[in-house]
């Protein structure tokens, strides 16, 4: 099952993608896709629907973040050995865990805005995990039972702010538009094994990242079990699980960073694709992007 939210920012409606890839309107069945939707009972009710009985959504509407009300974003860094090496950092012996600001959330094909005065904005294709059941001190063997589904995410990063302004990675990870998510939340049963998914990211049509989740240092089971020791994971929480090699910072002989006018295209097996235009910083005023 593929759940989504579609429509203009701030006015998204719930949707479902049927087996033929046709977008169907769920607004007659539920008000929105929220953490309350993601429990076993809520997902079972949606899975029992006949998609053919739902209205077809015409045209090509914008996709929003697939879950409204994500409570927190837990991020795992350096979770692919080759990425740790290209970053010039030690291979972790425990998951590197940090938090990414909720204000960085944006739709999968919305613009990515370079921060004011930034010269080191970079890309990271990542597997995202949406929690469906409260997790505290869970065991690895039980960890996947806490997953509602999976999403595609781009952990956009400003490397100077991340690494040259003290030890807090969040400084380079939480800028506005730095967490495109979607287009869909794909239920755990449809994805199957989360450690067998090909992934890629292109910039301006040139392949930058190619990877597979099987090469994670810490797999999804381990990440959920580990993170739940330090923070309680609630339904609707998002975990992003690290990126394979090929980020701009690691390019040789010279690093490559994003600039206004660039286009990022990324995807993960079964989870769809994203395309983002990179734009220069502008004052957003009171605009809310999530």
Residue 160 tokens, joined: 């100077």
What is the C-alpha to C-alpha distance for residues 257 and 160, in angstroms, rounded to an integer?
A: 11
For residue 166, is pLDDT > 80? Answer: no
Which residues are paired to 80 by β-bridges? 216
DSSP 58-95: PS-PPB--SSTT---EEEEES-BHHHHHHTT-PPPSS-
For residue 167, is pLDDT > 70? Answer: no
For residue 224, is pLDDT > 90? Answer: yes
- DSSP E strands in 169-240: the ranges are 179-180, 185-187, 198-203, 206-212, 238-240
pLDDT tens for each residue of 2-16: 999 999 999 999 999
Residue 99 tokens, joined: 């938090």
| Report field, pTM of the whole predicted structure over 0.75 | yes
Q: Are 173 and 103 in contact (CB under 8 A)?
A: no
């Amino acid at each position: 099952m593929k759940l989504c939210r579609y429509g203009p920012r701030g006015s998204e409606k719930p949707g479902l993608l049927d087996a033929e890839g046709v977008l169907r309107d769920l607004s007659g069945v539920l008000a929105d896709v929220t953490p309350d939707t993601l429990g076993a009972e809520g997902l079972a009710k949606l899975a029992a629907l006949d998609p053919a009985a739902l209205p077809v959504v015409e045209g090509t509407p914008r996709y929003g973040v697939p879950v409204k009300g994500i409570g927190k974003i837990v991020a795992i860094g350096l979770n692919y050995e080759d990425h740790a090496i290209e970053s010039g950092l030690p291979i972790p012996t425990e998951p590197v865990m940090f938090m990414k600001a909720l204000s960085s959330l944006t739709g999968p094909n919305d613009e990515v805005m370079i921060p004011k005065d930034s010269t080191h904005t970079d890309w990271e294709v990542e597997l995202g995990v949406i929690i469906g059941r409260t997790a505290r001190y869970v065991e690895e063997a039980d960890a996947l039972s806490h997953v509602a589904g999976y999403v595609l995410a781009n952990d956009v990063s400003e490397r100077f702010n991340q690494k040259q302004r003290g030890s807090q990675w969040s400084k380079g990870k939480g800028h506005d538009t730095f967490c495109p998510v979607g287009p869909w939340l794909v239920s755990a049963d449809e994805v199957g094994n989360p450690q067998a998914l090909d992934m890629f990211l292109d910039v301006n049509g040139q392949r930058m990242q190619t990877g597979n989740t099987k090469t994670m240092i810490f797999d999804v089971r381990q990440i959920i079990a580990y993170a739940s020791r330090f923070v309680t994971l609630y339904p609707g929480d998002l975990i992003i699980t690290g990126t394979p090699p090929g980020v701009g910072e690691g390019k040789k002989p010279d690093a490559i960073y994003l600039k206004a006018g660039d286009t990022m295209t990324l995807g993960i097996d079964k989870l769809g694709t994203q395309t983002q235009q990179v734009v220069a910083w502008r004052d957003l005023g009171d605009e809310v992007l999530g």
